[in-house]
């Protein structure tokens, strides 16, 4: 049975700061009570306040940034769980379970360029992805800045969370908003098609995407049609995050590379999947 990663633990962290971010988000910086090793981008932590204000079930969040002894999360306020976390004050303690999940594959410089597609708060796993790709992952050739295209889409400019931080990174950054309030009008895939049509981005690329399920379905379809290598970071509903509740099944492609069982657990076998392993619209 898939088990939680061997480095995952349950511990308390101290809230360092809570900073508003975009229209409905916050940056939550935590200092874990025990030192963490370097965490791979797109791994995640389950977070929960223990003072009675959080719901009983902790909520999953991608690690956004890591510096010194603190880890940072980018939260979009959705409901009870995120509201409670966004209302934390510095000095408070938060139950922290992780690091969980697998993270992105090696985003290396040895093949076609990488196009990173972020939808709304799906941007969270990309800040460290770009940093780690440039630094080199798993001993592979580091990606060069011109091999990294970061396409950030959202409903409106207020949901292009922490865009300025991405613009400071040495990658090529493009934006799209559905209401046209920032960058191109439309969604992130329309933006990609347009940039490819104009020759800004080549046809042969590798894709890494995170965002709402409907967006990921469209990205999967886009990659299938063109035969592109594609990795998806899923934001499934989770109960435990550590593989013990069976609440996070992701349907697999029949007779695909994930074996014969009809689903995999997003928390311990993901949250990153190769697009051709899973059947999002099953």
Ligand X SMILES: Cc1cc2nc3c(=O)[nH]c(=O)nc-3n(C[C@H](O)[C@H](O)[C@H](O)COP(=O)(O)OP(=O)(O)OC[C@H]3O[C@@H](n4cnc5c(N)ncnc54)[C@H](O)[C@@H]3O)c2cc1C
Report the interface residues with another protein, using CB under 8 A. Answer: 1-4, 6, 8-10, 48, 50, 55-58, 95, 97, 236-237, 239-240, 242-247, 249, 261-263
What phi-psi label fits residue 267: left (phi over 0), alpha (psi between -120 and 50 degrees) or beta? alpha
Binding mask 168-207 vs ligand X (x if CB under 6 A, - otherwise)?
----------------------------------------
Per DSSP, 73 falls in state: E
Note whether 242 binds ligand X by CB under 6 A: no
CB 117 within 8 Å of CB 191? no
Three-state SS annotation for 195-262: HHHCCCCCCCCEEEEECCHHHHHHHHHHHHHHCCCEEEECCCCCCCCCCCCCCCEEEECCCCCCCCCC
The H or E element spanning position 9 is strand 9-21
| Residue 9 binding target from another protein, ligand FES, ligand X, none, CB below 5 to 8 Å by type | another protein
Classify the C-alpha dihedral 213-219-223-229 as positive or negative. Answer: negative
For residue 239, what are the contacts with CB-CB under 8 A and spacing of at least 6? 57, 245, 247, 248
CB of 46 to ligand FES, least distance (A): 9
| Residue 124 binding target from another protein, ligand FES, ligand X, none, CB below 5 to 8 Å by type | ligand X
CB 85 within 8 Å of CB 75? yes
| Residue 78 binding target from ligand X, another protein, ligand FES, none, CB below 5 to 8 Å by type | ligand X
Residues 107-146 that bind ligand FES (CB under 6 A): none
Among 40, 59, 127, 265, binds ligand X (CB under 6 A): 59
Residues 211-270 that bind ligand FES (CB under 6 A): 238-241, 243-248, 265-267
Site residues for ligand X per CB under 6 A: 44, 59-62, 73-76, 78-82, 121, 124, 235-238, 271
Site residues for ligand FES per CB under 6 A: 238-241, 243-248, 265-267
């Amino acid at each position: 049975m898939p088990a939680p990663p061997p480095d995952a633990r349950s511990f308390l962290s101290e809230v360092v700061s809570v900073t508003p971010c975009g229209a409905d988000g916050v940056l939550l910086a935590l200092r874990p009570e025990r030192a963490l090793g370097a965490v791979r981008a797109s791994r995640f932590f389950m977070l929960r306040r223990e003072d009675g204000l959080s719901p009983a079930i902790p909520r999953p969040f991608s690690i956004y940034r890591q510096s010194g002894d603190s880890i940072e999360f980018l939260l979009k306020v959705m409901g009870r769980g995120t509201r409670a976390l966004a209302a934390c004050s510095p000095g408070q303690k938060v139950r922290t379970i992780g690091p969980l999940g697998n993270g992105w594959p090696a985003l290396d410089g040895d093949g076609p360029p990488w196009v990173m597609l972020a939808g709304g708060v799906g941007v969270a796993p990309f800040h460290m992805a770009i940093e780690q790709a440039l630094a080199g992952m798993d001993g592979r050739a580091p990606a060069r800045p011109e091999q990294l295209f970061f396409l950030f889409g959202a409903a409106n400019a207020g949901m292009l969370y922490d865009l300025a931080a991405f613009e400071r990174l040495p990658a090529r950054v493009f934006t799209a908003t559905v209401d046209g309030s920032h960058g191109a009008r439309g969604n992130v895939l329309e933006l990609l098609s347009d940039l490819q049509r104009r020759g800004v981005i080549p046809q042969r690329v590798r894709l890494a995407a995170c965002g709402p399920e409907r967006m990921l379905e469209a990205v999967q379809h886009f990659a299938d049609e063109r035969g592109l290598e594609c990795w998806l970071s899923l934001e499934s509903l989770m109960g435990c995050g550590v593989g013990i509740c069976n609440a996070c099944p992701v349907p697999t492609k029949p007779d695909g590379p994930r074996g014969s069982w009809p689903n995999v657990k997003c928390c311990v076998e993901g949250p990153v999947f190769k697009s051709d392993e899973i059947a999002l619209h099953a």
